[in-house]
Structure 1
Amino acid sequence: MAAWAKTLGTLAATLVIWVALADGAEAQTSDLVSTNALRVCADPANLPMSAKTEDGFENTLAELIGSKLELPVQYTWYPMATGFIRNTLKAKQCDLVIGYAQGHELVLNTNHYFTSVYSLIVPAGGDLAGVTSLQDPALKGRRIGIIAGTPPSAHLARNGLVGKAKAYNLVVDRRHESPAADMLNDLEAGDIDAAILWGPIGGPLVKQNHPDLKLIPLVSETLPPRLFFRITMGVRQGEKVWQRKLNSLIRRHQDEINAVLFDAGVPLVTDLGKDVIEPPQ
């Protein structure tokens, strides 16, 4: 009995230590997140999403989140390129990335707050305005602008549309080069016949600067690679308390988040990317 008592005492002491360590780890993780400001990591030249002028739709979302948390928004600016997470979020210079693709291991993802899709952009009054799929024969022989290396490139190749396609750079310093804006300017100038862009980039640019162009979300594509993606917010790995707080905020204020995205011109689709979500009237 004495031996059993000693063993149980040791187990109890070990359990207390583990609980204390767990509580301490959670407290330490929570302490990394500022309680004085909503510290956001963002690209200073990534319109229509974010900019140092704070007129991107991610800037508007940051203000919305800050208002719900009753915290002022404070930015750490860094180009969205290699080293972005390492030099911002992981360096504890900030606590939140507003837009990050679901499932990326560099961050701990919140629940997704919207789903969008690559989109075809054409002249609104032209003969391609009725196209809804990259398999449409009307696209044969047309010069289509595409960001090199993005998922729609595979669809262009499958449908025999690569030969006349015009590729635009994928990895650039947006302070000096803007492939999406260049592509839409080329489309309006007639240098290309159509453009394909990620919806959250193409949609706002069309709405803001190109009223004579039409954006067509590519929800009809059934073959891989998929063209729709769920977008989350990113926090540091291990910060489950902060993640859960943001998940709750997203759930309670989804309608307000959607309103910001609709106002910006972001095309929203259902979670499986099959149907376009229309803004409320």
Structure 2
Amino acid sequence: MSTNIERRAGLFRAALAGALASALFSGAAAAQTSDLVDRATLRVCADPADMPLSNEKGEGFENKIADLLGKDLGIPVTYTWFPDSTGFYRMTLGIKRCDVKLGVTQGADPFLNTNAFMRSTSVLMTKKGGPLEGVDSLSDERLKDKKIGVVAGTPPADYLLKNGLMGTARPYNLFVDRRHYSPAEEMIKDIKSGEIDAGVFWGPIAGYYAKQAGDIATVPLVKEKGGPAMIYRFTFGVRPGEDHWKHRLNDFISKNQDEINKILAEYNVPLVDEQDKPIAVSQ
């Protein structure tokens, strides 16, 4: 009789311990995604026409990184499309239509930033085999009196001014609708035609279009000092207060950094380490 009672008590304790462990595990797992509105899909906020970052066809490097993240989470990727301009956060993450924006500058309000997944810089574009190929600083004497393309109102414009190059510079528009006009492609076309001698542009975009052009060389500008920052960190952006989700994304970035770098390298994105040295990625 006592043996039966002891056996049942043992089974009860084992069942209780199992239930408790299961509850704790479920609670921990839920905590990892407790910030998400929809746990069944990875809901990404993205620009529908912003190559090489993203587009509706899924051709950008942010699209490829989103696919990698969805695979890691074991859920399908869906998108909320909105132009990456004024009102982006308010109309996407802000009203909970999606749960993550890939490619947010570190410190950008009102996002909560993850750890950085890339650090990149502007580049100098020149003709391959031309007299300016290999120039790696805007203070290089070979640029004197040359006509250099630059996007007005960006940090490189400050360095052109500082180095006495603004007098012959050709400005390109900063605020454009990328569906209808691409200043990077326009600048490359002007370099190829001889309209300008060189161009300075944001590396992740310039690298992609220079690679497509075939005969345009790009050199990361990492030596410029004494002016505005030219090198920026990029993160994933989530809603403020969603710390569990942020930590889960940090885990993904840490675990998959090499694969992320390979994706970026396919698009000719210039990557820079914490010592401002270009990162060579083997593909």
For this structure pair, what is the TM-score category when the shorter chain's length is used for normalisation? 0.7 to 0.9
Partner of 1:134: 138
In the TM superposition, residue 130 of structure 1 has moved relative to its aligned partner by 2.3
Does the 8 A contact of 1:39 with 1:75 survive in 2? Answer: yes
Find the counterpart in structure 1 of residue 282 from structure 2: 280
State which of 85, 92, 99 in structure 1 corresponds to 2:96: 92
Q: Which residue number corresponds to residue 233 of structure 1?
A: 236
1:268 aligns to what SS in structure 2? coil
Structure 1-normalised TM-score? 0.87
Matched residue SS, 1:253: helix
Picking from 192, 196, 205, the partner of 1:188 is 192
Following superposition, the deviation at residue 33 of structure 1 comes to 3.2
| Unaligned stretches of 5+ residues in structure 2 | 1-26
- Structure 1 residue 31: deviation in Å? 4.8
Structure 2 counterpart SS, 1:230: strand
SS in 1 for 2:95: coil
Equivalent of residue 263 in structure 1, options 250, 263, 266 = 266
Q: Structure 1, unaligned stretches of length 5 or more? A: 1-22
Q: Is the 8 A contact 1:145 1:183 kept in 2?
A: yes
Taking a change above 3 Å as real, the CA distance of residues 171 and 70 of structure 1, as seen in their structure-2 partners, is same
Q: Give the conservation status (yes or no) of the 8 Å contact 1:108–1:238.
A: yes
Which range moved further: 180-189 or 108-117? 180-189
Q: CA RMSD in A?
A: 1.6
1:277 to partner: Cα distance: 0.6
Work out whether residues 35 and 245 of structure 2, in 8 Å CA contact, stay in contact via their aligned partners in 1.
no
Q: Is the 8 A contact 1:116 1:228 kept in 2?
A: yes
Q: What is the distance in 2 between the residues matched to 1:111 and 1:219?
A: 22
Measure, in 1, the Cα distance between the counterparts of 2:273 and 2:278: 6
Paired with 1:179 and 1:131, the residues of 2 have a C-alpha distance of 22
Larger Cα-atom Rg: 2
Do structure 1's residue 153 and structure 2's residue 157 form an aligned pair? yes
Q: Percent identity?
A: 48
1:120·1:216 contact (CA, 8 Å) conserved in 2?
Answer: yes
Give the match's secondary structure for 1:252. helix
CA deviation vs aligned residue, 1:174-207 (integer Å, no higher than 9, x gap): 1122111111111111111111111111111111
SS in structure 1 at match of 2:34: helix
Aligned-partner Cα distance in 2 for 1:32–1:68: 16
Q: What secondary structure, in the 3-state scheme, does the structure 1 residue paired with 2:199 have?
A: strand
Q: Which amino acid aligns with 1:39?
A: R
Mapped partners of 1:263, 1:173: distance in 2: 25
